[in-house]
Structure formats: structure tokens, C-alpha cells
Structure 1
Amino acid sequence: MRRSLGDTLQALHPFRTGADPAEVSDSDLSGMAGPGALQVRPRSVELPGGVCASFTVAGYPREVSAGWLEPLLTYPGRLDVSLHVEPVPPLIAAQRLRKQLARLESSSRTNAQRGRLADFAAEAAADDAAELAASLARGHGRLFRVGLYLAVHAADDAELDGEVQRVRALAASLLLDAQPTTFRALQGWTTTLPLAHDSVKARQVFDTAALAAAFPFTSPDLQPRLGNTPVLYGLNAYSSGVVVWDRFAQDNYNSVTLARSGAGKSYFTKLETLRLLYQGVHVAVIDPEDEYRRLAGTVGGTHIPLGAPGVCFNPFDLPAGQGEDTLIRRALFLQTLIGVMLGEPLTPAARAVLDRAIIAAYQTCGITHDPRSWKRRAPVLADLVHELDRMGREGAAEAADLSARLAPYVTGSYRGLFAGPTTTRPGGHLVVFSLRDLPEETRTVGTLLALDAIWRQVTDPADRRRRLVVVDEAWTLMREAEGARFLYRLAKSARKHWAGLAVVTQDAADLLGSDLGQAVIANSATQILLRQAPQAIDRIGAAFDLTDGEKAFLLTADRGQGLLCGTTTGADRAAFSGIASPHEHRLTTTDPAELAALDEPATALAMEDDAR
């Protein structure tokens, strides 16, 4: 028979438009939905451009494992899989289970009394019913009425017959009894449409565990603990399942990402950073190559290009909410910072003189140990040198020596970073410290300032939240003593402050060949391995206990493909391929050709404005 598509859609109760249904004509609905007619047959529906046959799953295996629907989801032809779930109220579920259990036990006793052979299927069903009743009584699960429907599409009837045979054979291999919706082909087709309407209503009872295993995104390779901040890493490399991971639901929140140059480690890290921002996680980034600038600008983050002209970062700034010893801690840090500036540890006499000069510089600006004075303008490095000069004139030789050695940072070539008050304060949900513009001579000092600012945020008890500290190209930081100590301290104690450390590096020897690197790996519950160089694969395989197949995968992986090791023991692992939306790709790509293409419209617009 033939029906207009308008009649068909009008028969679907959940379908609604903005107008009154009585005022919407068939032609209006037909114009909105597509072509005007379809032909309904006993076992198939002829659609514009093809035919469709639908099936309902009437029988299921006794036990299922995680991802048991995956073979249907990965079927190479066009197969629509629809799962309709309706919860059963606990009171009704308990009553029905008791009745079912009574029937099954009564049947077993009757067979035994009359000398009949045991019905093993009924005994198994009785055991299952008893387990479900016990689980329901303890509150460990619930019951659901579930309908599983399949719709096979093909170009013509001949192709449809072959597709139907293959789908039914696949269902039979999964111990699923797929029955055609004979004389209900239209209802079967509409049930598989994304309309949330079950017109067939052929359902079976599932418990919570079986239904969870049927969820389409379940991956048989990885069963992570998920909390409130799950992040999509990508698609499973060997199935259609997705790899979702929540670092804040693991034993610790740290991660290590190892890959050769060009394998996509920074791309992947920026994707995770962006998706964690969606979850309300505060992120701070140490960016040696200024790769996070566009991301920070798009999401409204704070980008601090240390070393760039006009950018100042005053180390004398007092953090808010750090306790009564804030001034003392700041004075101690300044002593460490100046020791790094001078390139050698301070002698006890020089440290004592420097401590008096620092306190005097704060007092000159009206800042004392009284917390009410901490909101006043902080001194700068020039104020400290001024106090050292004054003490030198009073006879303190160490003060004069310190003043002379600090002159390049006040009036000389290195003054740019310390020339005045802080131009951009490190606040907001994303803070990026770019180190690309720092000269090699002041890179250690600038890095120490950035690390200190991040550590102050992490340990601030007045602003406790989920945080992630990303250290990209960590090998550049590990060459410096202060940077190495910061990584070690953060890897050990970040979890106590609800923070995680993400270490990203392209040189595996930096991590595997040092005590610091071993400590970072040992304290990282999330380990991500992207494509590796042949020269390093044996060492990485031994460190992460990789199989020969996993090593071969990492040697031949495409850009963006990698191996997620969920724990330090390697119990949970999944090979994945990272995916990004076009908008995410524009924010995270570092390909010079793509960046040039993205900058061309802005450059042309700027030239047009100049011409005007």
C-alpha cells in the first residue's frame, strides 16, 4: 500500500512542530521532511532511493560482556541499531520477580514429583531470577525493559536480500534471535529513527549491568573509572568505540605523554586542555614555543609572553590569601631568585644583607608584616637595588657587591622583564606562560618566575579547585635545576592540592634516564604513548612493559594515534586515534602551512585597513 509521508509523520505521536497539529497540512510536513511518498510491504519499506527491512531482537544470550553490541555497530553495510530503554519501578520489579521465581520453582518441583527429566533452562532462569531479586533488594541494580531493533538498508531488493542474510548471520553468531517485523515493516522502520518512539514494543527485561554493557560507547579494551570530568581522547583504533578518560578519577591526577617530534603530542595535549576547560578545570601551561597563544585568546584565557617588549613580571608582588607568613615566604623566594640571577648560591653574609634589603624595600612602599598593608603597591627590583646602594654607602661591602651584580637586571640589557610593575596578572581559567621570547641568558630566571606563580595558585587554600599544570616540551625545563625540582615537587604533592601535572616531552631519555624522570612516571596514573622512534622503542617497551604488538603499533602509528596506559601496571590499555572538530583543529594545529592559511584572511584584512 502507499501512504503519503505526511500521513506517516502525522501518525508518529512524538513528532511535533511549532504550529498546532490541526493546522499543519500533509503537504507542509512532506515539504519539511523530504520526498512525498513511500511504499509499505509485508517485510520491507521502499524509500526514495532504496529499500529497508527491519528486525526486532527477540532472544538474547544468558550472559553478555562489555561491548557486546560492537559487532553490530561496526557492520560494514548500512545498519541502523536502535536501543529503547524504559525503567521498571522497583516495587513492580520486585513483585514480578517474586511471581516469576514462584512459577519457575513450582515447575521444577512438579517435574521432580512426576519423575520428569529436569528442565535445565528453567533451572538457569530460576537462578538468574534469584540473583536479580537479591541485587534489587540490596539496591545494587535496577530492572529495565529494553527493545533492540535493527534496520537494514540497501539500494534494491536483490541487494537487500543479501544484506538481510548477512545481518541475521551476524546476530546469530552473537546468540541474538533477530526476527523480521512481518506486516509491521513501517513500525519497525520508524522505531529505528531518532525519534525516541518505540512502535513495535517487543521488549525484554535487563538488569543494570547488562544494560550498561549494551551502551554503544562501551569499549571492551578499556573500562576506566569516570568521575565528573571525563574527556574524549578519541576513537578506539580497532573498533568503533570511543576512548573516554577522567584523570581526576584515577589514583593520582598526573600524566606523562611521550612521542617523537611531529607525532602530535602538543596537538593532543591542547585538545585535552580545551576539553578540560569545558569541565571547569583551571589550567596553567608552561609553553616554551608559544603554541598555546591562539587557544588562550579564543577561550578568554590569560597569555603572558615573558620576554616580549613591554611585558613586565614583578617578583615582589604579594599573593592574596596565602596566610600570615606571606611576606616571609616572598622574601625567601626572592633570595632564591636573586641567587639564580647571579648564577651561584649566596654566601651566608650576602644572604643576611639581602634579607634586610628586601624587608627595607617593602617598608619603603609601606608594606609591613601587617596583612592590611599587603594591598599597597609592591616594590620593584630597582627599589631593592636602591636599598642595597644605601647599605653599601653605610659600609656593607656585600650590599655594594650585590648591587653591582644586579645592575644588568635594573639598568642593563636584562632589565625588560623587571622594568616595572606586573603588566598582566596570572588570573583566569587558563593561564599560559610563553617562554619563546625569553633570551637564553634570562630563560632560567623567567621560568622560575612562571613556576613560582603557578605554585602559588596551586597551593592557595582560598581558591581550591581542580587544576592541571601542563609542562610542554618538558626536556627544556629538566635541564635547569630549579625547573627539575619544581617538576619533582609537583609530581609528588600535586594530588594533595587537587591538581595534576601533565608532562609532555619528545625525548624519552630525559625521563627514563634520570631519577627525576622515573619519579614522574611512577607518580603518573595516566600514560600516553604516541609514535616512537625505532632507536627508543626498546627502552620504552621495557619501561612500560609493552608487548611486541604494542611496540609495532607505536612504530607505525599515524599522527594522532597512540596508546593510553591507564595505570602504571598497564592493566588498562587502549589504542586510540585522536579526533577533533574543525573548530578545535583550528585552535590546536601547529602545522606551519595550516597556520599560514589561517593567518592569510587576517593579514589581508589588515592590509585593506592600512590602504584605507
Structure 2
Amino acid sequence: MSMLQRLLPRRSPTSTDASPADAAGLAAVLGPAAIQNTPRYLRVGDGYAATLIVTGYPAVVGPAWLDPLLAWPGRLDVVVYIDPLAPTVAAARLRKQRARLESNRRTDSDKGRLVDPITEAAADDAAELADRIARGHSKLFRVGLYLCVHAAGLDELDDAVAHVRATAASVLLDTQPATWRQLQGWTATLPLATDGLEMRRVMDTDAIASAFPLASADLPAPLPGEPGATGGMLYGLNPDSNGVVWWDRWAQDNANSVVLARSGAGKSYFVKLEVLRSLADNVHVAVIDPDNEYIRLADAVGGVTIALGAGGVRLNPLDIPPGDLRPQARTYRALFLHTLISVLLGQQPPPSERAALDKAINDAYDQAGISNDPNTWHRQAPLLRDVATALNNQSTDAADTLAARLTPWTTGSFRELFDGPTTTVPSGQLVCWSTRQLADELRAPGMLLALDAIWREVDTPAVHSADTPRRLVVVDEAWTLLRDGEGAKFLSRLSKSARKRRAGLAVITQDVGDLLGSDLGQVVIANAATQILLRQAPQAIDLVADAFGLTGGEARILLTSRRGEGLLISGAHRVGFQAVAHKREHQLCIGDLELPNDE
């Protein structure tokens, strides 16, 4: 910079140098494109707004007296201005009020009139309040309460204003429209801390405190101008506000869910309702059913039931899906067989046995004429007993030991499930995999085989598009699989991979400790955008409260809730609900379980 430039006065910026925010103010940049001010409403951008002033209050207010307004099903801004009164001003005002009330009482007495109960009650309240303020137990505040109603059209705005005024009247709150002052009312309801209406009422500490918490018990409604939900289903009714709990798992970050409840809390009933309503929404559903609870429902809607453990029903874990043309398809089958054998043995084999197993799997495929060439995958896949034969042919201690450990499932008592080609290919919009007829030693492997068969159908190599059907995989009594390390790993991998394949995983369990007490169980919860908590056992409530960040009140709700009542948790959204069903839905869902008539 030259000396001359330093000596000359700095030129003030011209209008061409100023930014739009400097020239027109920040409101012109961040505010709506236009505002039309009328006596009874404002047109703000593409929407409409009308402000109501609360002018009358009941003599006595109960806890959460603002809750009906906060839970109103629509866009309603509830704004409270609270300014403290200085103790000297509060005391002076109370003295004047008490003197006025006492004068009225004496005038009535001198003239022989009957005692006015309203004046008597007001005098007693004023005396009690003055005593509390003098002792420092309470303070006075100037309170303004304004309601700003939003709507997309004028007719909708008129209906909404009438509905809001009726809701306010139900809790004895008198409201008046801010006629000719709608602009001041609208700005008063913005987060600007500017009250252009100045319609205040003096309240004490107890009255203000009873208005909290300032939160709605319902899920947030879409803003004006935003499209409403096009999907989802009815989960139930909100017992706190009598509102409708409508939820779309497919609109969340992922479509996974977990349902945790003690035995008899109604979790299977709730899941059956969701399955029925998902079918109506064109979702393909596959259910792992350990207790034959879904067979009646499947029969009623034309679904398919596959009873694992029944005579002649077999699943070959070495089958390569016919539609899978990926070069790694044979490798994926080999890796799954490693997981299955770990579940069969109850633990992962040592490294030497795993190496022998891997070689035996490849030898069995080679013997069957199946290579990494997709053109060979139409041939008959080898069986588990062929893998055992390949182990014996290796003539090593590790291979012989592993072959001997697999004897019960290849040639022994538990071979029926694996001893032959796959007999049933699942198809249909609802497929129910029943594992009740399996022996306890085969329950976890059977569930794993069913999940694998479901996943082979979901994990198709075709490009997933909007035409690909959404699929919901329901794993009931998941503790059977979660108590096994390899089974829990498989379930956690499904929870991570389902989102990319237009699929959702629903995990239901009554043994909360199995899900929350392991790292893999925590992974399943972390990857579930929808979390349903029904009634919990006192022994597990602390663990559940810590895992889901429940408040003390929410924990008490889960301890005392009735059958079918619970909490829906998804991120910052938390709402209570009571499952409700149509009479026909109820008949299909109850099975042998009798529920209250209101469900």
C-alpha cells in the first residue's frame, strides 16, 4: 500500500458492495419469500398461520396442563413467555388484591348479602400465596401464552383453529384470535424472544412448573407444505394422548427392528399384527417360528409352512442358489458350512480341523463335478456326509477327529435334516419356517439353515430396484440363536447387510440378557432403527434402561404396562402405544393366547 493510500480516508462501501444480508437484513435472507397480513390470518410463503391468545385460565391447574395442546395432531406452535416479578412489586400487587377482595367481603357483609363463594376462595388463595411469597417458597411471574396454528390452505386453517380452540376449552383455557395483530402474534411465536402482544397473566411458581414438561407425547407431524406419510402401518394408539401411532419402518435409516419383552407381554401378538399389515403392504415376509405360533396365520392368508424336523423335510447347506451366477458363489457356500459346523459342534474347531474341513469341502464339490464355473452349478450338490467322507480320505489326525465329531449329523441320530437333497424350495409372499419338531440339539442349527435359505433368496445378484419386493425376515425367540457365538455372528451380519437389499430383520426375544449381554447382541440393537419395548421383568429393567437410555418414568411404564402396551423408540422419537386390532386380525393372532377384549 502506498503512502498516499494510507493518508487518504477509507471510502465507505457503496450499495453495490453490500451483500443482500447487509442491504435488506438477515430476515430477508432467511425469512419467507413474502408475507400477506390480514386481520385474522397471515399468508407466510406457501402456507397460512393464525395466532390465538390465551386470555383465561382455570382456577386450579393439574400436572402437565399444557399437554393436550402439545399433543394436538398438527402443526401448532405453543409459546410461553415468562418474566419474573420483583419481590417488592409482587408484594405490593398482592396487598392491593387482598385489600380489594377484603373490601368486597365487608361490603357484602354490611349490606346483608350472602357470602360470594368465588370471592371467599379468591381471598383465601391470595392470603395463602402472600404467605408463601413472604417465606420465599414461591415467586410471581408475568406469563404470556400464545398459540400459532399453521395450515396449507384457508379452509384447513379455519378447521384447525376451531379444533385448537376446542382443545384449549377442554382444559378450561379461554382463547381469542389476535385480530388485527396477526403479524405481531406470528413474530411473538418465532424464536426471537420478542413479545409484540404483551397479553400477560400473573402466575406463581407452582402453576408454571405444572406446565412442564413442554413436550408432545405423539410422534411429530409433517410440516405444512411437506407431503404426508405414504407408507407405514398402524402400530396402535397412544395411551397418553389417544393419538394414532403410525410408523413406517421402511422410511427409517434401516428397516431392522428389535422387540424385547418378558414372556406373556404380548410380543408375538404384536409381531403377528405387523406381519399381517406388512402383507397388505406388498411386503414379502419370512418367519422363523420355534413354537408354531404363526402356522394358523400362514394358513389363513395362503402362506407356506416348512416344518423342519418333520419326516422327509431336508435342507442341504451345500446347495448353490440357481440364480446366483457370481464366481464366488461356491466360496460363499463353503464359508457358510464353516459357520454351520461351528454351531453343530457348539464351538469353533481348532485351526488344524478348520483347515481339514476347508479342504474336505472343496474335495466334495470337486467330486460332484462342481467348480467355480457357473455352468457346473446345476449339478447335484454334495451332502454333509460327502464332506465327512472327504475328511476320512485325508487320513490325518485332525481330519479323523473332526469326522468323528460330525458323526451324529452325518450317519447318526441327527442326520435326517441333512441326509439328502433339499426337498422344499420356499416360495410365496409369506413363508413360515417351523422348528418346533426339531430336537433341542438341532434347534439352533435348524434356525441357522432357515435363515440361510431366506438370505439366499434375499441376496440375489440381480440389481435391486424399486421393482424388487421388500422383504421382512422375522426371527422369533432369537435367544436360541443368540446364545451360540457363530449363530449370533450370522445374525449380526444379516442386520448389517439387509438395508442394501431392500430387506429388514426383525429380532424378537424374551431373554433380554442374551441380546444385551453380548457385543454381537449390541450390534443387532445398534443396527435396528425401530426398537419396541413391551413389559419387562424387574430383574432385567436396569439392563434395559441402561441400554436404551430410558428415563425413570419410562422404566416404570415398562414394569407396569398391560399386555400389548409398550414403547416405540427410534433415535430421538419415543412414544408409548397400545396395540389394537380388528376383530378378524385378533382372531388370527391370538391362537392359544387369550388377550383382553380391547386388543
What's the TM-score, normalizing by structure 2? 0.60
State the partner residue of 2:241.
Answer: 239
State the partner residue of 1:489.
Answer: 493
Contact 2:567 2:574 in 1 (8 A): yes
Counterpart pick for 2:270 among 253, 268, 271: 268
Q: Which amino acid aligns with 2:585?
A: E
Structure 1's 448 and 224: CA in aligned 2 closer, same or farther, altered over 3 A?
A: farther
Give the C-alpha shift of residue 351 in structure 1.
4.1
CA distances 1:507-527 after superposition (whole Å, capped 9, x unpaired): 333333333333333333222
Contact 2:217 2:575 in 1 (8 A): no
1:409 to 2:409 alignment: yes
CA distances 1:144-187 after superposition (whole Å, capped 9, x unpaired): 5449789xxxxxxxxxxxxxxx999659957489xxxxxxxxxx
Distance 1:487 1:238 in 2: 35
Distance 1:515 1:563 in 2: 24
State the partner residue of 2:50.
Answer: 62
Equivalent pairs: percent with the same residue? 54
State the partner residue of 1:223.
Answer: 220
CA distances 1:31-74 after superposition (whole Å, capped 9, x unpaired): xxxxxxxxxxxxxxxxxxxxxxxxxxxx899248776479xxxx
1:508 to 2:512 alignment: yes
Contact 2:474 2:505 in 1 (8 A): yes
Structure 1's 315 and 520: CA in aligned 2 closer, same or farther, altered over 3 A?
A: closer
Q: Which amino acid aligns with 2:377?
A: W
Q: Which amino acid aligns with 1:408?
A: P
Q: Which amino acid aligns with 1:307?
A: G
Give the C-alpha shift of residue 315 in structure 1.
0.9
Structure 1's 574 and 336: CA in aligned 2 closer, same or farther, altered over 3 A?
A: closer
* Local SS of the residue matching 1:445: helix
1:473 to 2:473 alignment: no
Distance 1:537 1:345 in 2: 33
Give the C-alpha shift of residue 398 in structure 1.
5.0
State the partner residue of 1:531.
Answer: 535
Q: Which amino acid aligns with 1:272?
A: E
Structure 1's 300 and 377: CA in aligned 2 closer, same or farther, altered over 3 A?
A: farther
Distance 1:541 1:406 in 2: 42
State the partner residue of 1:461.
Answer: 461
Contact 1:229 1:276 in 2 (8 A): no
Contact 1:270 1:292 in 2 (8 A): yes
Counterpart pick for 1:333 among 330, 333, 336: 336
Contact 1:541 1:547 in 2 (8 A): yes
CA distances 1:395-424 after superposition (whole Å, capped 9, x unpaired): 556555544443332332111101211122
Distance 2:490 2:307 in 1: 20
CA RMSD of aligned residues (A): 3.7
Contact 1:227 1:248 in 2 (8 A): no
State the partner residue of 2:421.
Answer: 421
* Local SS of the residue matching 2:491: helix
Give the C-alpha shift of residue 342 in structure 1.
4.2
Distance 1:444 1:306 in 2: 12
The aligned runs of 1:504-583 (5 Å cut-off) are 504-567=508-571, 571-583=572-584
The aligned runs of 1:62-81 (5 Å cut-off) are 62-63=50-51, 68=72
Structure 1's 580 and 174: CA in aligned 2 closer, same or farther, altered over 3 A?
A: farther
Distance 1:331 1:353 in 2: 13
The aligned runs of 1:77-476 (5 Å cut-off) are 143=153, 145-146=155-156, 173=173, 175=175, 221-223=218-220, 228-319=230-321, 320-321=323-324, 323-389=326-392, 391=393, 399-462=399-462, 464=464, 465=468, 466-476=470-480
* Local SS of the residue matching 2:298: helix
Gaps of 5+ in 2: 1-39, 42-48, 53-68, 75-147, 161-165, 178-215, 223-227
Distance 2:277 2:174 in 1: 36
Contact 1:227 1:249 in 2 (8 A): no
* Local SS of the residue matching 2:231: coil
Contact 1:267 1:590 in 2 (8 A): no
Gaps of 5+ in 1: 1-58, 71-127, 133-140, 151-165, 178-218, 595-612
Distance 1:565 1:430 in 2: 27
Structure 1's 361 and 435: CA in aligned 2 closer, same or farther, altered over 3 A?
A: same
Give the C-alpha shift of residue 585 in structure 1.
1.6
CA distances 1:536-576 after superposition (whole Å, capped 9, x unpaired): 33443344333443333322222111122232xxx322221
Distance 2:485 2:246 in 1: 36
Distance 2:513 2:398 in 1: 42
Q: Which amino acid aligns with 1:476?
A: T
